[in-house]
A = this chain, B = another copy of it.
Amino acid sequence: VPGDISMTAALTVDLVVLTVRGDSLSVLAVRRGVTPYKGRWALPGGFVLADEELLDAAERELYEETGVSVDAHLEQLATYGSPHRDPRGRVVSVAYLALLPNLPSPKAGTDAAEAHWRDALELLEKDRGLAFDHAQILQDGIERARSKLEYTSLAAAFCNEEFTIAELRHVYETVWGVSLDPRNFHRKVSGTEGFVEPTGRTTTRDGGRPAQLFRRGGASLLHPAMLRPGRGCLLR
Q: Which residues of A contact B (CB under 8 A)?
A: 1-2, 4-11, 47-54, 76, 78-79, 81-83, 88-92, 94, 192-195, 219-223, 225, 231-236
Contacts and interface: CB of A to CB of B under 8 A. Distances in A.
A221 B233 contact: no
A194 B233 CA distance: 9
B233 A11 contact: no
A223 B231 CA distance: 8
Contact of A2 (B4, B49, B88, B225): B88
Nearest to A194: B234
B192 A233 contact: yes
How many copies, total? 2
A203 B49 CA distance: 59
Contacts of A220: 235-236
A94 B79 contact: yes
Contact of A219 (B51, B223, B235): B235
A186 B231 CA distance: 23
A114 to B, nearest CB: 19
A91 B1 contact: yes
A56 to B, nearest CB: 10
A221 B150 CA distance: 14
